[in-house]
Structure 1
Amino acid sequence: MLRVAVVGAGPAGIYASDLLIKSGEEVSIDLYERMPAPFGLIRYGVAPDHPRIKGIITSLHNVMNKPQIRLLANIDVGNDISVEEMREYYDAIIFSTGATGDRPLPIPGGEHSQGAGEFVGFYDGNPDFERSWDLSAEKVAVVGVGNVALDIARILAKTADELHKTEIPDNVYEALNTNQAKEIHVFGRRGPAQAKFSPLELKELDHSDTIEVIVNPEDIDYDDASIQSRHDSKSQDLVCQTLEGYAMRDPKGAPHKLFIHFFETPVEVLADNGNVTGLVTERTQLDGTGNVHGTGEFTTWDVQAVYHAVGYRSDAVAGVPFDERKHVISNDGGHVVDDEGNIVPGLYATGWIKRGPVGLIGNTKSDAKETTGMLLDDWRNGKLAPANNRDVLELLEAKHIDYATWDGWYQLDKAERALGEAEGRERKKIVEWDEMLTHSRAK
């Protein structure tokens, strides 16, 4: 039997586990998770008003129900248990720990901006993040033109009551009730054809009666490379069509204005005693290749808060080679490799910890297929050192590690649904770590 540990119970780890089960090999998988609850990015990285994407949990749940998988949650691999200790119990270990940290905004005053990951962690009820948030700014800037930037802008532009029907916990609802934002400005340094929005995400901005999406017609511009990009990608063309529609339509009179600005590169965050007073951008211009150059024309935007959604950053796992420049586990596409590029037998990586925080769920599936393909080839060709025949639970109990299980998730899930039902909604998320564990152990 092939015995595998998968570290990280988000989509990447669960998809990898599913592929191993479907491989035809007899396999046993322990799925480790640092949090008390599984599902990673889907639980703690997707905006609460995206039920369609949250529905992915249903398919992940079906995989987790398979008898070949055992969830071992509330375990911090690298601290509670070392990778070397784990290698005695498994033929292979796959790391799928994702990315939750923020890359910095590398401009003067950037330290006064707030990271997308921090805000997402807050409104998604991640126990690692803040329980309260200062939402006193009436004018807010969001740097970045990806889906995370749209999520942040949309959450800031909606009312607390609009979001109360979702699974947000009480502390998030109370904070959003204090939100003073009336103008949200989203900035991208290139044009519509280079925006990384998903078409559906972009269209959803306009579904709220409280949000007026505004695009300056002067920002609708394409060079030859941009036109080719639209021709090559139906998705990108739909994004451009939607942005053109926003630019051409008449105002609908909604109270919250959400501006999407293109061809504006942030160059400085202005602050006084740590308080943001403005954002300076330089106007850019397409150069024919889809890239841009500065024009020397600068604008100071009157904003009191700046959020940056310029990319997530993964953290190293103790005992595993890590590329500090790219913020990923060093790998050759699946195998973990050392500083000299040599394969570390039995160790693999998949998902954002392997390739960086880019792509959608579909990319994660193909990523897992590549990694598990390498692992299975190594197993079938006798390249993996066999594990011992003992159960890792012996080690966990000897180390007094207080782990949670899949049955515990069912108990936590039941508790969250009961809290939501009492208020006429599907679920209300439990935030506190210890409270999550208490419900996980309820009988």
Structure 2
Amino acid sequence: MLRIAVVGSGPSGVYAAQALVGQSSVPDVRVHILDRLPCPYGLVRYGVAPDHEKIKSLQNNLRAVLEDDRIDFLGNVEVGARGLGPRRLLELYHAVVYCIGAARDRRLGIPGEDLPGSHSATDFVSWYSAHPDAAPDAFALGARTAVVIGVGNVAVDVARILARGADELRGTDVPEGALEALAASRVREVHIVGRRGPSGAKFTTKELRELGALPSADVLVDPADLALETAYADPAAVPALVRRNLTVVREWADRPPQGRPRRLHVRFFLRPVELLEQGGRVGGVRFERTAPDGSGGVRGTGVYEEIEAQLVLRAVGYRGVPMEGLPFDAERGVVPNSAGRVLRDGAFSPGEYVAGWIKRGPNGVIGTNRPCAKETVNALLEDAAVLGRRQVAADPEAELRAAGHRPVRWRGWLAIEEAEAALGHTLGRPRVKIPDWAGLLGAAQGAAGAGGPEGAGGPGEGAR
């Protein structure tokens, strides 16, 4: 039997597990998927906006993988805690695949960035997604004007949530505390601002069209911003996605306001240079107007503009963070690797692999993780003969428990799902996420009658 640990239960981790048990070259493979959280699915659960039900339904596909008898989900197990570092994992498993993503948001690096009222979009997403590390009262939304810096899908997501009415989200699984804060929100003006033009933005056309369809917000585009966009000169020369985005943005620029209760401004060619202070917190953002530099980038023009704002959310990308005991390329924010094989001082480290964003950097969509994981698993299988000769623990889960870990197994996760459905029923909603550690772990214990104090079904191989 080849025992593999996959660290992380997001799409890249689940796809890696699927590839491992779906291959035929190694007949007997068992996979433990370890996750710090008691819930699986990673950013599909804690990163996809609650009103994106179609994308969230991907959980059903991931669930089918995790229900395979050769795969065991072990949540509430933090790699790096209680002596469970990379070296210890290699004593427990023949191989380890790290699918730990890119957990840190990029910073703007400008004065005023740490003022109260300035946040990362990651923090805002975690709050409305009920991540247990996010404080339930982190966002009171007393601001009248919000600025979202960035023109990718995350920026569009957070702007859309700010511009939606709470009633439009009542049918989703958004936590009750966040829903109440959104219902009491004073935000009436939202600005999405990018330093490039619309042809350089990273959002998808579908996300853009959703903004234009919001019943409670007018979307406004300044025609002067579009006048700088060089791609309009020859739309046929740009990729189809860019061409579609340009069409949507131009339609917005030509559309008169409808008098809806909120206004959503989409701005281009503005680079943030300072967050302005007022009364000890954010009071606005100072931008420099940019212009195309003729080589695909932008240059500063020395012309400045200020936008009043009491809430600023930066959505300018993510970075991987180092894990103690693993090599790390600080410049790229990834673990050094060759086709998924971890490299230590330029040489392959037997038994250690990476997949997903920590392998290639934060790029691509959810589906990009499937071929990425498959490449890593193919490398692992090529090494299987050597890996199988390593002496490892007979029962890794028992060793984890002996070290003080209290894994939440699949049965515990199902108990959490049931508790969230019950919570939704009491609130007159379809389902409501539990937003805190105590609530999640308490719900997981609802499976204790099935054989384990942590909703684990008891220790031992194959207990679900």
- TM class by shorter-chain length? over 0.9
Alignment partner, residue 46 of structure 2: 44
> Structure 1 stretch 91-100 or stretch 225-234: which is displaced more?
225-234
Alignment partner, residue 149 of structure 2: 143
Distance change >3 Å, CA 194–CA 415, structure 1 → 2: same
Counterpart of 2:22, as a letter, is K
- Say whether residues 1:58 and 2:60 are aligned partners: yes
Deviation of 1:54 after TM superposition, in Å, equals 0.3
> Structure 1 stretch 254-263 or stretch 174-183: which is displaced more?
174-183
Indicate conservation of the 8 Å contact 1:193/1:229, yes or no: no
Match of 1:123 among 122, 128, 143: 128
- Say whether residues 1:170 and 2:176 are aligned partners: yes
In structure 2, distance between residues paired with 1:108 and 1:247: 32
In structure 2, distance between residues paired with 1:403 and 1:299: 53
Alignment partner, residue 394 of structure 1: 398
Counterpart of 2:156, as a letter, is L
Alignment partner, residue 416 of structure 1: 420
Deviation of 1:225 after TM superposition, in Å, equals 6.7
Residues 244-263 of structure 1 show CA distances to partners (whole Å, capped at 9, x for unaligned) of 11111222221110101011
Match of 1:305 among 277, 300, 311: 311
Match of 1:111 among 111, 114, 121: 114
> Structure 1 stretch 367-376 or stretch 61-70: which is displaced more?
367-376
In structure 2, distance between residues paired with 1:226 and 1:85: 57
Alignment partner, residue 344 of structure 1: 349
- SS of match in other structure, 1:151: helix
In structure 2, distance between residues paired with 1:221 and 1:290: 16
Deviation of 1:331 after TM superposition, in Å, equals 2.0
Counterpart of 1:88, as a letter, is E
Counterpart of 1:198, as a letter, is T
Indicate conservation of the 8 Å contact 1:337/1:343, yes or no: yes
In structure 2, distance between residues paired with 1:84 and 1:154: 44
Alignment partner, residue 4 of structure 1: 4
1:362-401 equivalence runs, <5 A: 362-379=367-384, 382=386, 385-388=389-392, 390-401=394-405
Distance change >3 Å, CA 423–CA 207, structure 1 → 2: farther
Alignment partner, residue 82 of structure 1: 85
- SS of match in other structure, 2:148: strand
In structure 2, distance between residues paired with 1:228 and 1:386: 60
In structure 2, distance between residues paired with 1:184 and 1:208: 13
| Number of matched pairs | 441
Counterpart of 1:33, as a letter, is D
In structure 2, distance between residues paired with 1:336 and 1:271: 45
Distance change >3 Å, CA 384–CA 106, structure 1 → 2: farther
Alignment partner, residue 248 of structure 2: 242
In structure 1, distance between residues paired with 2:102 and 2:427: 33
| Structure 2, unpaired ranges of 5+ | 448-464
| Structure 1, unpaired ranges of 5+ | none
Indicate conservation of the 8 Å contact 1:158/1:210, yes or no: yes
Indicate conservation of the 8 Å contact 2:353/2:376, yes or no: yes
Match of 2:104 among 87, 101, 106: 101
Deviation of 1:440 after TM superposition, in Å, equals 1.2
Alignment partner, residue 450 of structure 2: none
Deviation of 1:230 after TM superposition, in Å, equals 6.5
> Structure 1 stretch 69-78 or stretch 315-324: which is displaced more?
315-324
- SS of match in other structure, 1:428: coil
Match of 1:70 among 56, 63, 72: 72
In structure 2, distance between residues paired with 1:44 and 1:227: 41
Counterpart of 2:214, as a letter, is S
In structure 2, distance between residues paired with 1:161 and 1:437: 30
Counterpart of 2:376, as a letter, is T
- SS of match in other structure, 1:442: helix
Deviation of 1:425 after TM superposition, in Å, equals 3.2
Match of 1:437 among 428, 441, 450: 441
Deviation of 1:208 after TM superposition, in Å, equals 2.0
Alignment partner, residue 325 of structure 2: 319
User: TM-score normalized by structure 2?
Assistant: 0.91
In structure 2, distance between residues paired with 1:241 and 1:197: 13
Indicate conservation of the 8 Å contact 2:93/2:393, yes or no: no
Tell me how large the CA RMSD over aligned residues is: 1.9
Indicate conservation of the 8 Å contact 2:199/2:229, yes or no: no
Deviation of 1:101 after TM superposition, in Å, equals 2.4
Indicate conservation of the 8 Å contact 2:95/2:387, yes or no: no
Deviation of 1:318 after TM superposition, in Å, equals 2.1
- Say whether residues 1:22 and 2:27 are aligned partners: no
Distance change >3 Å, CA 408–CA 229, structure 1 → 2: farther
Deviation of 1:422 after TM superposition, in Å, equals 3.6
> Structure 1 stretch 137-146 or stretch 82-91: which is displaced more?
82-91
- SS of match in other structure, 1:441: helix
Alignment partner, residue 279 of structure 1: 285
In structure 1, distance between residues paired with 2:228 and 2:146: 27
User: TM-score normalized by structure 1?
Assistant: 0.95
Counterpart of 1:353, as a letter, is I
Distance change >3 Å, CA 230–CA 326, structure 1 → 2: farther
Alignment partner, residue 451 of structure 2: none
Alignment partner, residue 91 of structure 1: 94
In structure 2, distance between residues paired with 1:225 and 1:376: 46
Deviation of 1:121 after TM superposition, in Å, equals 0.9
> Structure 1 stretch 258-267 or stretch 223-232: which is displaced more?
223-232
Residues 81-134 of structure 1 show CA distances to partners (whole Å, capped at 9, x for unaligned) of 222222122121000112332222211212222111111111111011121113
In structure 2, distance between residues paired with 1:20 and 1:203: 38
